[in-house]
Amino acid sequence: MNTKFIKTIGLALFVIGFALFNLSFFLSRYELTPTIIKSQITDARKATLFLNETSSILQKEISSNFEFVNQLHAAFDRINSTQIKTFEFSLPELDKLASFNKEKFSITSVDSVFKGADESNSFKRKAFRDYGSWLDGQAINKDQLQNVAGNIKKYGIVNQYGFDRYAIKDLTYSLTKTSSVSPIKNNPTFFLFLTIGLCVIGGLMYILPKIQLPPGIKNNGIFFNVMKNVQWLGIFTGTWLMAFYVVLYFYPEYMTNWVILVDPVSKALSGTDAGRFFLYGFIYTLCILVMGVRMIINYRHSKYQMLRTASVMFFQTCLAFLIPEIMIRLNQPYFDFKNIWPLDYSFFFNNRLDTLLANGGLGIFMLVWGIALIVIAVPVLVYFFGKRWYCSWVCGCGGLAETLGDPYRQLSNKSVKAWKAERWIIHSVLVFAVVMTAGVLYTYFTNNAWVFFFDSYKLREVYGAFIGAGFAGVVGTGFYPLMGNRTWCRFGCPLAAYLGLIQRFKSKFRITTNGGQCISCGNCSTYCEMGIDVRWYAQRGQNIVRSSCVGCGVCSSVCPRGVLNLEVKEEEGRFGKAILIGNNGVKLAE
């Protein structure tokens, strides 16, 4: 059969599947029932309040996801507003409390001011002890009392009698998913095939005919390609990826139809309904597998490239996706055995530690395994093999960048200015991760959230939102078609920074060069995904020891003269004497 015809059919199937996938985002209606509310809101009192506030939409079909979510948010807001009015401290009450404590504050005075037996007074007595005990024995003013009352209003009342923002986020998602009334929910397997299934089949049909071409990388016309050279199709792709990550991390309640699509897969693996991160992991793994096939075909002239591509496909599919889901089926903690702190920035969070410690011997093993990777495996393996052992052979972020992101590697900025920015940004993220983790551990062992001048809970929230979700996801993947496939690895990954520091100063790995055979074709620099001007080093016969180098070996694979080689050996005088020089010939480091 004609190769061009197969590719055309494959492209058509992919476009159809992708279009149906996007259409399925809106293909649903929603009907909220008392049974659904009681199943999702386990607190009977809060469930009753929510039933009352949503009585106008109960058992009525709402055709728009956005309208349904807005109705839920309005109900949560009304409940919180009512509960705050019922239980908040009034100004006369604070004035009375101040009059009881003119010289020094006594915590027992709250019993005299709020002495009624009703629920409101009982709550106020307990809440003031919980939030204002630090005032006991101190000279106080009314502003301090109002500050305590404000914290109780903001946190205590909402947590106990209403819904805090975390509960609202989780419940909005779960209520939306369970209230869905759609053909997708009735037959998710069929729609999974029509959407993601067609994308996979179409993608493979488009990729596989390339095996008929002679071995060797074929990048003719790449800088005129509308997908691969920051033109309209590449910009559209990047925009879609960024939008996907924004919805995934910040507005999951709007993507419940997509989650329902993969419910059958999740039930088959873990025995539970799918969540948004199962959907993400499923699509992520499929992207690496399908585009990994493309990578193997494109680089089949290089055994090294084929092996490392097979490696990232294996580690993502087995260790990052299948095994953690099977662990859930076995009633064990979800655990990705290849993920390492500080890339896995939540490893030392109290909920993670408590879960591992509560699961006996296996949980302890997981904890020890994670710590051993950080303090033993990383320095030892980087010493012998460089950071490539993880960044190019194991890491899921690197796996997606090397497979799905491979068509965009030529877009990485090779300028000295970009290199300087890279070093400042990535090491700042590493410092941020270390400080955040130190604060988290301090809080875990002392139960004190405040460390010097910052709140460790707020710090972890900021890191998770801006680095874990925003930088690694929205920018890290969404910028593939705009800034190259290793934007996150190059500018943001704290683990890459940690590995790079060891590689730069204590590793046998380097890319050696034979300057005498270099013909200055520029292939090596063009296709360096980490923004290294490899040609500059090759022309001068200098070995490449940059901390950012992930040892992907593509520079060697695209070299027509065999100038570049990945080697592991001692190099006399390397440390402290190697000279790093930028594109403009200025010495940057020694």
Q: What is the pLDDT of residues 122-175, one digit of tens each?
A: 999 999 998 988 888 888 888 888 999 999 998 899 999 999 999 999 999 999
Stretch 476-498: mean pLDDT: 97
Q: Which pLDDT value is given to residue 570?
A: 66
Whether pLDDT at 576 is above 80: no
Helix (H) and strand (E) counts in the chain: 33, 9
**Share of residues in the chain with pLDDT > 70 (%):** 96
Q: How confident is the model at residue 453 (pLDDT cuts 50, 70, 90)?
A: confident
Residue 263 Cα distances to 188, 331, 395, 499, 503, angstroms: 7, 19, 26, 37, 43
Whether pLDDT at 316 is above 50: yes
Stretch 547-562: mean pLDDT: 93
Whether pLDDT at 65 is above 70: yes
Q: Which two tokens stand for residue 300?
A: 């089949």
Whether pLDDT at 97 is above 70: yes
Residue 169, classified by CB atoms within 10 Å of its CB into exposed (0-12), middle (13-18) or buried (19+), is middle
DSSP β-ladder status, 587-589 and 580-581 = antiparallel
Q: How confident is the model at residue 308 (pLDDT cuts 50, 70, 90)?
A: very high
Task: Summarize pLDDT for 494-540 with one digit per residue, the tens.
Answer: 999 999 999 999 999 999 998 789 999 999 999 999 999 999 999 99
Task: Summarize pLDDT for 217-248 with one digit per residue, the tens.
Answer: 777 788 899 999 999 999 999 999 999 999 99
The per-residue DSSP string of 60-79 comes to -EE--HHHHHHHHHHHHHHH
Q: State how far the Cα of 217 lies from the Cα of 521, in Å rounded to an integer.
A: 15
Q: How confident is the model at residue 589 (pLDDT cuts 50, 70, 90)?
A: very low
Q: How confident is the model at residue 302 (pLDDT cuts 50, 70, 90)?
A: very high
Q: How many residues can be counted in the chain? A: 590
Q: Which residues contact 145 (CB under 8 A, 6 or more apart)?
A: 94, 97, 98, 132, 135
Please indicate, yes or no, whether the overall pTM of this predicted structure exceeds 0.85. Answer: yes
The rounded mean pLDDT for the chain is 92
Q: Determine phi and psi for 262, rounding to 5 degrees.
A: -100, 10
Higher pLDDT, 560 or 284: 284
Handedness of CA 494, 499, 500, 502 (dihedral sign): positive
Q: State how far the Cα of 167 lies from the Cα of 364, in Å rounded to an integer.
A: 30
Q: Which pLDDT value is given to residue 514?
A: 86
Q: State how far the Cα of 437 lies from the Cα of 425, in Å rounded to an integer.
A: 18
Whether pLDDT at 70 is above 80: yes
**Token pair 């009512």: residue:** 82
Stretch 86-108: mean pLDDT: 87
Q: Which pLDDT value is given to residue 571?
A: 57
Q: Which pLDDT value is given to residue 133?
A: 86
Closest CA to 404 of 283, 311, 306, 307: 283
Whether pLDDT at 46 is above 90: yes
Task: Summarize pLDDT for 72-81 with one digit per residue, the tens.
Answer: 999 999 999 9
Q: How confident is the model at residue 581 (pLDDT cuts 50, 70, 90)?
A: very low
Stretch 409-413: mean pLDDT: 95
Q: Which pLDDT value is given to residue 525?
A: 95
Q: Which pLDDT value is given to residue 1?
A: 62
Under a CB-based contact definition with an 8 Å cutoff, are residues 408 and 296 in contact?
no
Q: Which residues contact 198 (CB under 8 A, 6 or more apart)?
A: 13, 14, 16, 17, 20
